Amino acid sequence: MKLSTGAKVYIGTPAKLMPEQLSRTIANALARIPEIGEAHLPPVYVKAKIDPPAQILVVVMGKDSPSQVTKMGEIMHGVLPASSYLDFVEWRPSEPTLPTVRRTLCAGSESQVELRR
């Protein structure tokens, strides 16, 4: 998805979370990719693009790590129920929006995907 310059992106604390079992399954699968430093599942709203708001997977790669988009797509295909999908983005630690995503998380929230290695 490509957003126009100046598009307003709203990131918040989830009102309705994906099932905990599914977020754990995603975390366990992503933990097998060593290039991933952290991952989050914040709800995002972008008028006419992500409307209504939806949780997306924000994956933060190591600073110099190669892209893992193909591998993540394969993983998501393997762990998500057949009739569902999950949009994801691959960010670097320098992504200016990352601090906002981190601040939206509350203690115990399933919007942070805890990677266990």
88-91 and 57-61 strand pairing? parallel
DSSP state string for 59-109? EEEPTTPPP-HHHHHHHHHHHS-TT----EEEE-TT-TTHHHHHHT--TT-
> What pLDDT does residue 101 have?
86
> What pLDDT does residue 115 have?
62
Considering the domain boundaries, does residue 2 fall inside one?
no
- Domain containing residue 86: 10-113
Considering the domain boundaries, does residue 59 fall inside one?
yes
In this structure, the number of other CB atoms found within 10 A of the CB of residue 110 comes to 18
Ordered per-residue pLDDT tens for the chain, 117 residues = 677 777 888 887 777 778 888 888 998 899 989 999 999 888 888 888 888 888 889 999 988 899 999 999 998 889 998 888 888 889 999 998 888 888 876 434 445 566 655
Considering the domain boundaries, does residue 21 fall inside one?
yes
Considering the domain boundaries, does residue 102 fall inside one?
yes
> What pLDDT does residue 61 have?
92
Considering the domain boundaries, does residue 36 fall inside one?
yes
Domain count of the fold of the chain: 1
> What pLDDT does residue 36 have?
92
Considering the domain boundaries, does residue 3 fall inside one?
no
CA 45 to chain centroid: 13
The CATH number covering residue 41 comes to 3.30.300
